């Protein structure tokens, strides 16, 4: 009997702990949600000033700070290995991780000549990727 009580107690404590952790910042993704590039296309050659257009299906765009189910804002990953990101924490704001917290669906970029990879990742109101992460295919472009 004592053992059962102890098991229940441990279970309760562990559920409370998971509620109180950083995981409360994670929002669930809509099933089948997709983020993708409208332009450029994979393999395109572009000039040093280019417009990137973001597409999203199955979820909505909302500015950072706006907490609404199945929404988020775009993040553009430039020449970045997505595995280097912690998907349970707010995304850092760096030259390789651009936030579009105003709810923008396109951006004008300046990139140096050469080969570059681009990838889109949706983040929630607190810049945390959803569960599951809504991540685009990685595309490769040549800047001339």
Interface with Cu ion (CB under 5 A): 99, 101, 123, 127
Least CB distance from residue 116 to Cu ion, whole Å? 21
| R_g over Cα of the chain | 19
Which H helix or E strand runs over 15?
helix 2-20
Please identify, using beta-carbon distances, which residue of 127 and 141 lies nearer to Cu ion.
127
Q: Which is nearer to Cu ion, 101 or 103 (CB)?
A: 101
Q: How far is the CB of 64 from Cu ion (least distance, A)?
A: 5
Tokens of 19: 């509620």
Which one, of 118, 77, 83, lies nearest residue 99 by Cα? 77
Q: First-to-last CA distance in the chain?
A: 74
Structure-token match 């929404």, residue found:
71
CB of 128 or CB of 139, closer to Cu ion: 128
Q: Closest separation between CB of residue 88 and Cu ion, Å?
A: 15
CA 55 to CA 8: how far, in whole Å?
A: 46
Q: Which lies closer to Cu ion via its Cβ, residue 77 or residue 139? A: 77
Shortest CB 111 distance to Cu ion, Å: 20
The DSSP bridge partners found for residue 135 are: 121
């Amino acid at each position: 009997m004592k053992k059962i009580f102890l098991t229940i107690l441990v279970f309760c404590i562990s559920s409370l702990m998971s509620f109180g952790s950083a995981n409360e910042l994670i929002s669930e993704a809509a099933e089948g949600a997709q983020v993708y590039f409208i332009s450029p296309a994979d393999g395109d050659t572009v000039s040093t000033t280019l417009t990137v257009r973001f597409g999203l299906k199955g979820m909505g765009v909302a500015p950072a700070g706006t907490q609404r189910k199945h929404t988020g804002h775009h993040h553009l990953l430039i020449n970045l290995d997505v595995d280097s990101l912690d998907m349970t924490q707010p995304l850092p704001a760096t030259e390789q991780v651009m936030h579009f917290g105003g709810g923008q669906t396109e951006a004008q970029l300046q990139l140096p000549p050469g080969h570059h990879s681009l990838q889109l990742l949706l983040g929630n109101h607190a810049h945390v990727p959803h569960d599951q992460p809504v991540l685009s295919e990685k595309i490769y472009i040549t800047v001339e």
